[in-house]
Structure formats: C-alpha cells, structure tokens
A and B are shown apart, each in its own frame.
Chain A
C-alpha cells in the first residue's frame, strides 16, 4: 500500500485516522436506514432540521410568545400564573396620548420620549454610519501605505465590549475628562459635555458610530473588492469622470452590500442600549433615553416593576424591527429584478 505514490508500503495514515469516524458512522447508519424506510426521504430532511428548529423554537419563538402573554397581564409578579389578565390594557396605556408629538400629553410620557429619541437616533446614526463607512471603505480600497494597519485601526473598536466603549468615552467627555483637560491646556474653559442635551445626544451618536463603523466598513470593503477591475479600466479608457464612475459603476454594484449594511445598522440603531447607558445613563434628563433602556427600566430597574408594560413596549419594538426587515427584503428583491449584482 502506498501513501504518497513513492512505492513505499505501509498502513494508510488517512485510513487509520478515519477509523473512529467510520466506526461512529457505522453505529448510526443502521438506525438511520430503518428510520428512512419509515419516514421516507422528505421525513429525513425534517429529522435533520429538527435540532435547529428545536433550538429556534425554545430560544426565539417560545420567549416571543411568553413575552406576548406577559404583555396581556398586569401586576408586578414575575410568574405568569401569578399575574392577572388585563387584555390590551398595557397597549392602551402606551397609546393613551392626546398628541403623539408631545410626550407630555401621554400617560406614558417616558415611552414616547424614548420613541422620539430612538427615531432621531436612527435617522442620524444610520445616515452618518453609512456615509462614514462608505467613505472609509473607499479610502481603504485604494493603494495606501500601510493599508493593513489602517484597516486594523478602523476595525479595532468593534472588538471592544460596549461597556468598555461607554466607559472610555465617559472618561474622555465627563467634566473632569480628557477632552476638558486638553481644552484647558489650550486656554479654553472646561465644558460639561454630558450635561448638555444636544452634546450628549451627539456624543451618543458619535460613540455608537465609532464603535461599530469598522464592521460595516469591512462588509463594504468586501463588496468593493468584488467589483471587476476591468469595468474601471474601461471607464478610464473612456475618460469618464471619477464621480460618474462612482455613481454608475461603484454604487450600483455595491448596492447589495449596501442594503445589507443599511438593514443591519437600522436594526442595531433601534436596539441601541449598552454603550449609551454606560455613557450617559439616559440623561441629561431623558435626552438620551432610548426604547431599550425604557423597557429595561420599566421591567427590571424600577421599584415595583411592571413586566407587562415592558413586554408590551418590547412587542411594539419587535413589530418595528419586523417591518424594517420586510422593507429590506422588498428592496433586495426589487434590486435583484432590476439587474442588481448578486
């Protein structure tokens, strides 16, 4: 027997290594054959999907239905069996508003403040995140010196835990933080950035972009590198201006990646919580209080918690996320029909 065609004889290394695997497969082969006879080929597909379906069911679907059941109950008790059925009262309480644009006119004013803040955050963060990620990806796609170093630099914040991100920026932005220390050195008066409603909101957006931009840049960079070079060469030979090249070649061919990035950024923005919670605690006042923090505080962190109200708010947030995902799927399909690159 040979192992490398050199003419030497001896045991096949591969065969020995595979022996335990073959043994294990031999053990399951017979019962699976019997099962296939009973269930048929279609049934076997279901059988193999079952573990995943079970995990999905237990960890995604079941909590969703339990959460929905909680949203129909009242009181501060934890177990469903100890809670009273209140129908849609919790939803009615959330929507009890004379003017949705004025949170002070709503029974649950902090919920609508959080909705408004989250809406503004999504608009600003998604727009700026896409813009910065795209520009960074375009720059990193060029022949730069130390290109790998720059790519690593932009990706590095993604590796940090959100709590660490929040703490780092808190140390920079707080009244006695690094930024004021630097400004003081240049003769400026220190400023309490995190006590200012506008600046703290801007800080929440900026820190979130800084922390996650590297990941989206990477997705866009992969898309840019997949665009055939000959298209650019042809455009160059035709003397096409660079803006036109970007609008007619780069952007259309990058659209599938861009759509993925938009949806991921949107979902992440709606769910914003951890780094901002550490950075500002939702303040000053409620100017950086977002939906997830409202849900957390209502369900867990206040005296005499209201899990039902928190569950109702999270169901509404889930509906928004489903709508956003469906919009993305619709956009993706229409992009495919219009000849978008897969």
Chain B
C-alpha cells in the first residue's frame, strides 16, 4: 500500500556548494551532456551510413558453392569498399518456407538464391533501369528471364546461378558385381526397375531405386508418359492419363520394395526429401535426382565406387527430364537498390560466372559462356562424364518440360503431387483416391489464390 510506504528522504547532491558554484557546475554538466549527445549522433549517423552500403544475400548450398561465392564476394568488396555484402548461409527449407513469409511482409534479404522463381516473382526487383548494361543481361540470361518475372513483363529479376536437369545415376560397381548390364539411354523406366531390382537382390542392398521426394522430380517421368499439367486457359488441368500411368507404376514400385520407402513414405505433406545419402553410402543401385548432385557425389563418393550419370529413362512418349535450377534474384523491398544492382552486375559478369561454374561444377545459364565452353576444375573423370551426359540430355527436353519452370502454378501442382502420392505409397489412399485428391487440392489452391 502506498499509504504505508516509508517516506524516503531525498539525498543531497554530492559536492553541492553555494549559488554561484552551482551555476558553473550546471553549465559544465550541460556541456558534458551536449558533447555526449553530439558523439552519440555522430555514432548513429556513421552506423546508418554503414547500413546504407549493406547488401544481404540469403543463400543455400548443395555443395561448395557457398564457399566459392564468399570468395568471389570478398574480391568484390575489396574493389568496392563502400559496399558491405553479407552472405547469410541458410538451409534450403528456410528459403522454401520462411523466405516467402518474409517477402509477403515486405521484408527479407536484398538478394536471394531461390528455386521457386515464378510464383514469387511479384517480389523481385526490376533491375533493368539499375544494371550497367541491360542488353548484356538480355543477351546472356534472356533464355530463362521469363522463369523469374511476372507474366507479360520484360523485367530483369536476376539470373540463374545454375541450370539443372533432372536425371539418373547408376552405381556402376554394383551393376558390374551383379553382372547386370547398365540399361541403354533408350531404356524405359520398366527396364531400369527390372535391372536395378536384379542388382539389389544380387548385391543385397536395401532398395533398388530411389527418386527424390519432390513434385519436380516426379514430373519428368510423368511428362515422359505424356502428362501435361497446363490447361488450355493456362490454369492447372486435371491429372491426365500420362501422369496417372507413371504414378501408378511408381506407387507399385514403392509397395513391392523396388523404390526406397525411406524417401517417399517417411514424411507427411510436401516436405522435400532426397535419397542422395543412400546412393553415396552404396545402398542404392539407381537414383533419380539431377545434375546438381554431380559435385556432391564427386566430393563424397570419391573412389569408394564407380558411378555414372544416365539421362532420364524413357516413358511411352519421350525420355525427358525436368529442367530447372536456382536463380539469384534481387528483392524489391531492398533499401539499397543501387548497391544491389552493382553486386548483381558483378556476379553476372562472364568471368565471374565462369569461375563460379568451373569451381562448383554447375552448368551455367550464361549463353556466351556456354558457347565458349568451360573447363570444370576437377580431376574426377566420372564427374566430367556426368556433366557431359547432362549437357547432352538437354537436347531431348520435351516442350512441356521446358514450359513448366516458367508456369505460375508449377509449385502448387508439385505440392499436391508429393502430398497425395506419398499417401498412396504409404497405403493410406487408393490410387483413384489420390488422383481425385490431387485434382481437388490443386483446384482449392487456384480458388484460394483468387486468381
């Protein structure tokens, strides 16, 4: 209770003298305060100035590309002391799940490495008026510019740090030990399943095949069997017979143990799971993933066993894989667009892209560089052969496969595919139930979006 509180006696100020000396003291005190305030203001201004030249990059890595980029940025900052580039290394799930929420809130980094390029394109900054030479960008990165800008615009949002192509890898040592010939490049998915199963049984590895838990990965084979997700109006079409044909085979392979259950069955929702670790550990005869795994396998498999990249197995219509890749895009909520453009101009330079690609073993998107060719910095003959296989496979891409990366609804479709196919693989849904759920989920997404 306040009323019962003890009355506190004010303590006289130490050193207080007479009236005159008190005034002098007061002036001295005021001077001191003013000096401190001025120093504080200078400090504040100088720290604000530091923020003014700051560029944050949200980056994820599959291999060594984070280290390579840090090295390249170090050189950039040496030449541009007024710009401080901070590389925030995060996991891929952060880019997939947290970045979109940050962008919706009008926040986030200044630059980000993303794979969900089209659906998030309203958040990208138009670099056209900011870059030094827009014609250079159009000439060299124009092929994929549509993947990362709103439909109908000529915006320069960024560039692809790598072009990827989904495809398979075979454990050559296991095939040889089993005495099974590696199927030819015209081989179908059925041929591969049969051969891989023979190898797995002979060599007693847990699973014959694995395919990443990803809608993008499942889509290549679907398209090979004639699937097309894009309706006549540009909106998602119901699942067609082509997609149903491969999904039916795939679920059957999971059920009979040909396909790894660890990858597809062991999670709910649209969570991404890769089967790379099982392949690296020699637990798989055949693994369907993509070209981005080449540096990973080169580093981690080393001389443990021999492996080869295969193109995508064939379906009834074609033998396509899915193109894709990761793009480096500028975010429109940046406070420092000029500095961001400078960083992007530097990273898009031909010599920088060349060094980045050669050191990371990534396939570049830079048209001029692709024409001149690269010398990948590796002594690993298997990795070089694998990269050549993927480069050659780009010639066999179907039209549908090439359209999907720039289609707004791709990710919504992929999410529904993963969620429902994994439920069918786990035995929770029949195939027919899974198909109708995929259609319903995609329709609900379209309705929810209000587009």
Where the two chains meet, the residues of A that have a C-beta atom closer than 8 Å to any C-beta of B are 19, 22-23, 25-26, 29, 32-33, 36, 41, 44, 74-79, 84, 104, 107, 109-110, 174-176, 192, 194-195, 197, 280-289, 293, 297, 300-306, 309
Contact = CB atoms under 8 A, between A and B. Distances in A.
B223 to A, nearest CB: 19
Given A26-B10, A29-B7, A44-B2, A285 B449 contact: no
Given A303-B411, A304-B119, A74 B450 contact: yes
B282 to A, nearest CB: 12
A104 B429 contact: yes
Contacts of B7: 29
A218 B201 CA distance: 52
A77 B262 contact: no
A36 B269 contact: no
B268 A283 contact: yes
A41 B266 contact: no
Contacts of A197: 426
Given A29-B7, A32-B2, A283-B426, A289 B100 contact: no
Interface in B380-417: 411-412, 414-415
B266 A280 contact: yes
Contacts of B20: none
Contacts of B427: 285
A304 B9 CA distance: 65
Contact of B3 (A19, A41, A192): A41
Nearest to A93: B444
Contact of B448 (A75, A195, A297): A75
A306 B11 contact: no
B426 A285 contact: yes
18 contacts: A22-B11, A32-B2, A33-B2, A78-B104, A104-B433, A174-B262, A195-B265, A197-B426, A281-B268, A282-B267, A283-B266, A286-B423, A293-B269, A297-B269, A300-B98, A303-B119, A304-B445, A305-B101
A109 B419 CA distance: 12
A281 B267 contact: yes
A280 B96 CA distance: 20
Nearest to B10: A26
B422 A285 contact: yes
Contacts of A77: 104
B247 to A, nearest CB: 15
Interface string B416-442: 000100110111110001000100100
Closest 10 CB pairs of A and B: A282-B268, A285-B426, A281-B267, A78-B104, A26-B8, A303-B411, A285-B428, A303-B415, A284-B265, A289-B268
Contacts of B293: none
A78 B101 contact: yes
Contacts of A29: 5, 7-8
B268 A109 contact: no
A76 B206 CA distance: 42
Contact of A26 (B1, B9, B119, B414): B9
Contacts of A288: 268
Given A192-B262, A304-B448, 20 more contacts: A22-B8, A22-B11, A25-B8, A26-B8, A26-B9, A29-B7, A75-B450, A76-B449, A107-B440, A174-B262, A280-B266, A281-B266, A282-B267, A283-B422, A285-B268, A285-B422, A286-B428, A289-B268, A300-B101, A303-B445
Nearest to A290: B268
B268 A303 contact: no
A281 B415 CA distance: 15
Contacts of B445: 303-304
Interface in B110-127: 116, 119
Nearest to A308: B448
Nearest to A33: B2
B271 interface: yes
Interface residues of B, number: 50
Given A281-B268, A287-B426, A195 B104 contact: no
Given A23-B11, A78-B105, A303 B269 contact: no
Contacts of A280: 266-267
Contact of B268 (A23, A174, A195, A286): A286
A72 B429 CA distance: 31
B174 to A, nearest CB: 17
B203 interface: no
Contacts of B450: 74-75, 84
Nearest to B101: A300
Contacts of B11: 19, 22-23, 26
B261 interface: yes
A22 B262 contact: no
B2 A74 contact: no
A36 B2 contact: yes
A293 B268 contact: yes
B270 interface: yes
B289 to A, nearest CB: 19
Contacts of B268: 110, 281-283, 285-286, 288-289, 293, 297
A280 to B, nearest CB: 7
Interface string B87-112: 00000000011101100110000000
Given A26-B8, A84-B450, A304-B449, A195 B266 contact: yes
A9 B115 CA distance: 79
Nearest to B100: A305
B265 A22 contact: no
Contacts of A195: 261-262, 265-266
B269 A301 contact: yes
A32 B440 CA distance: 64
A288 B105 CA distance: 31
A284 B213 CA distance: 13
Contacts of A22: 8-9, 11
Nearest to A26: B8
Given A280-B267, A281-B268, A283-B422, A301 B97 contact: yes
A36 B4 CA distance: 12
A19 B440 CA distance: 73
A77 B449 CA distance: 8
Interface string B300-342: 0000000000000000000000000000000000000000000
Contacts of B449: 75-76, 304
A195 B254 CA distance: 12
Nearest to B430: A104
B242 to A, nearest CB: 22
Contacts of B100: 305
Contacts of A41: 1-3
A41 B115 CA distance: 62
B437 A284 contact: no
